[in-house]
Amino acid sequence: MACKRFFCLLPGIALLLASTVAWSAEIHGRSSTQFTWFTDIFTEKKQAEFGEYLSLSVTKIDKDNKLSIQGYGRFTQDIQNGDGLNGRLYYLYGDYSNLYDKVDVRLGRQFVNYAAGSALIDGGKIELKNIGPVAFSVMGGRNVFFDLNGEATRSQDFAFGAAAYLAGYRNTDAELSYFMKLDKDGVARDQFGAAFKQYLLNSLKVYANTRFDMPSETFSEVLAGVKYFPMADLVLTGEWYQSYPIFDSTSIYSVFAVSRYQEGVFRLDYTINDKISANFGYSKQDYEGAEADVYEVGCRIRPIDRVNVNLSYDRRSGYGGKLNGGIAEVAVEATKKLEVAGGLHYDVYERDRATGEETARKYWLGGKYKIKGNMSASVRVEDNVNARYKDDYSGRMAFSYDF
- 203: phi > 0 → left, psi -120 to 50 → alpha, else beta; which? alpha
Q: Report the pLDDT value the prediction gives residue 14, as an integer from 0 to 100.
A: 43
How far is it, in rounded angstroms, from Cα 233 to Cα 227?
13
Domain end point (choices 98, 126, 156):
98
- The full DSSP string for 256-287 is S----EEEEEEEEEEE-SSSEEEEEEEEEEEE
Domain end point (choices 80, 98, 116):
98
Residue 185: inside a domain, yes or no? no
Q: Do 87 and 117 meet the contact criterion of CB atoms below 8 Å apart?
A: no
**DSSP state at residue 17:** H
How far is it, in rounded angstroms, from Cα 235 to Cα 205?
11
Print the domain residue range for 80.
1-98
Q: Report the pLDDT value the prediction gives residue 18, as an integer from 0 to 100.
A: 45
Residue 111: inside a domain, yes or no? no
> Of 248-252, 291-295, 384-388, where does the model show the most confidence?
291-295
Residue 38: inside a domain, yes or no? yes
How far is it, in rounded angstroms, from Cα 188 to Cα 213?
11
Start-to-end C-alpha separation, the chain: 30
Residue 143: inside a domain, yes or no? no
Q: pLDDT digit string (tens) for 153-195?
A: 998 999 999 999 999 899 999 999 999 999 999 999 999 999 9
Residue 40: inside a domain, yes or no? yes
How far is it, in rounded angstroms, from Cα 297 to Cα 106?
43
Q: pLDDT digit string (tens) for 15-65?
A: 444 444 445 789 999 999 999 999 988 888 899 999 999 999 999 999 889
Tell me what the mean pLDDT of segment 7-12 comes to.
Answer: 47
Between 4 and 370, name the one with better pLDDT. 370
Q: Count H helices, E strands: the chain?
A: 1, 24
Could you tell me the CATH number of the domain that includes residue 387? 2.40.160.10
Q: Report the pLDDT value the prediction gives residue 7, as an integer from 0 to 100.
A: 44
Does the pLDDT value for residue 12 go beyond 60?
A: no
Q: What is the largest CA-CA distance in the chain?
A: 72
pTM above 0.95, yes or no: no
Rounded to 5 degrees, what are φ and ψ at 150?
135, -150
Between 83 and 269, name the one with better pLDDT. 269
Looking at the structure of the chain, the number of domains it has is: 2
Strand partners, 144: 120
Residue 215: inside a domain, yes or no? no
Q: pLDDT digit string (tens) for 95-126?
A: 999 999 999 999 999 999 999 999 999 999 99
**DSSP state at residue 130:** S
- With a pLDDT cut of 70, the percent of the chain lying above it is 93
Domain end point (choices 57, 77, 98):
98
Residue 311: inside a domain, yes or no? yes
**DSSP state at residue 249:** T
Rounded to 5 degrees, what are φ and ψ at 156?
-95, 5
Q: pLDDT digit string (tens) for 203-248?
A: 999 999 999 999 999 999 999 999 999 998 999 999 999 999 888 8
Residue 278: inside a domain, yes or no? yes
